[in-house]
Amino acid sequence: MDDHDLIREILTGDQQAIQKLHERYVDRIFHYIYTQTNSYHDTEEMLQDVFFKVARKLDQFEGKASFKTWIFKIARNVVIDYYRKQNKERHSIAVEKDYLEDIAGEDESAETTVLRNFHIDEVLQLIDRLPSHYRTVLHLRFIEEFSIQETSDIMGKSILSVKSMQRRARLTLFEQMNLEVSSQ
């Protein structure tokens, strides 16, 4: 039974369908939120918030996009609201833009070479240190395997901006790896 079938069943009051849909997404949404907050406690709170919002709006879900895109978009909004209320982070994508633009034209195969020379744990640590919007785009694209179009829907950004963000995320990571190498 796909997501749309489950939603139809839920709206007729089928309790099992509610549990199935919840089970299908609870860990993915949890992991997605955690990626951006790095706080287990906050993630738990936001997880409830996401599912409450999904529930309240489920009858308005039109099925134009996939349910997966829709729920991730809601999760993204919950995270933004959380940051806004907590004033924990001012969102900005002005990350050494000029430098990144400068190196954007470099041969990407160099990236692969550097990736190979690093231990995976080290790379993952560096990913955790990236700004949250970079982590978000990498998570959505490479873990959830959303397309560029779906990622742009979820993040509320244009396709071009998602492409550029993804490239910058990778370049920033690449740059940090180079810094690690040169400091060793």
Partner 1 sequence: MNNHRYEDEEFQYIMRQKKTMKASTKAREKSLLTFQDGLKDVIPKQKKKQNRQKLRQRFFVTVGSVAAAGIASLIFINYDFVQDGGLLDSGEDEHDGEETFNEMVEDENEKKEDIILEDVEENEALVERILDRPIIDVNVLNTMPMHQIQNETFSIYLPDEWSIEEEEEDYVYSTHMTGPDSERMEFFLFDRDVNQEQIADEIEETLTKVTSTEETTVSPNIYNDEFVMNNQIRTTFDTMFPFDNEMTEMYAFIDEESGRFTELYISELFGQSMIYMMDVPLEDKESWALSWTFFSQMFVTETPYTIQGTESEDHPQFDRPLEKSVILNEGAASFRETDIELYEIDEFGITSYIPVNVEEERIEHEHFIEFRFTDEDFSRNSFYSFGKLKEGFPLENGREIMFHAFNIDQAHHEDLGGGDGYGYGYYDGSGDYDIEGYIQLFEVSDNWYYTHHHSEREDNNGIIYNKWSYMFKELIEWE
| Contacts with partner 1, residue ranges (CB under 8 A) | 10-13, 15, 18-19, 22, 26-27, 30-31, 34-35, 40, 43-44, 47-49, 51-59, 64, 74, 76-78, 80-81, 84-85, 87, 90-94, 108-109, 111-112, 115-116, 120, 123-124, 127, 138-139, 142-143, 149, 152-153, 156-160, 170
Query: Structure tokens of 93?
Result: 């994508």
CB atoms within 10 A of CB 10: 20
Minimum distance of partner 1 from residue 56's CB (angstroms): 5
Residue that has been written with the tokens 């936001």 in this structure: 46
Q: CB-wise, 74 or 172, nearer to partner 1?
A: 74
Q: How far is the CB of 169 from partner 1 (least distance, A)?
A: 10
* Distance in Å, CB of 73 to partner 1, minimum: 9
Residue with Cβ nearer partner 1 (19 or 178): 19
> Helices 109-116 and 159-183: crossing angle, nearest 10°?
50
User: CA of 97: how far to CAs of 101, 103, 138, 155, 181, in Å?
Assistant: 6, 10, 18, 20, 22
Residue for token pair 């199935």:
20
Q: Among residues 50, 6, 56, which one has the least CA distance to residue 154?
A: 50
Residue 179 CB, nearest approach to partner 1 (Å): 18
Query: For residue 16, with 0-12 CB atoms within 10 Å meaning exposed, 13-18 middle and 19 or more buried, which class applies?
Result: exposed
What is d(CA 73, CA 151) in angstroms, rounded to the nearest whole number?
A: 9
Rounded to whole angstroms, how far apart are CA atoms 156 and 43? 21
CB of 153 to partner 1, least distance (A): 5
Nearer CB in complex with partner 1: 102/108: 108
Q: Indicate the residue among 2 and 107 with the shorter CB distance to partner 1.
A: 107
Choose between 16 and 102: whose C-beta lies nearer to partner 1.
Answer: 16
From the CB of 111, what's the least distance to partner 1, in Å? 6
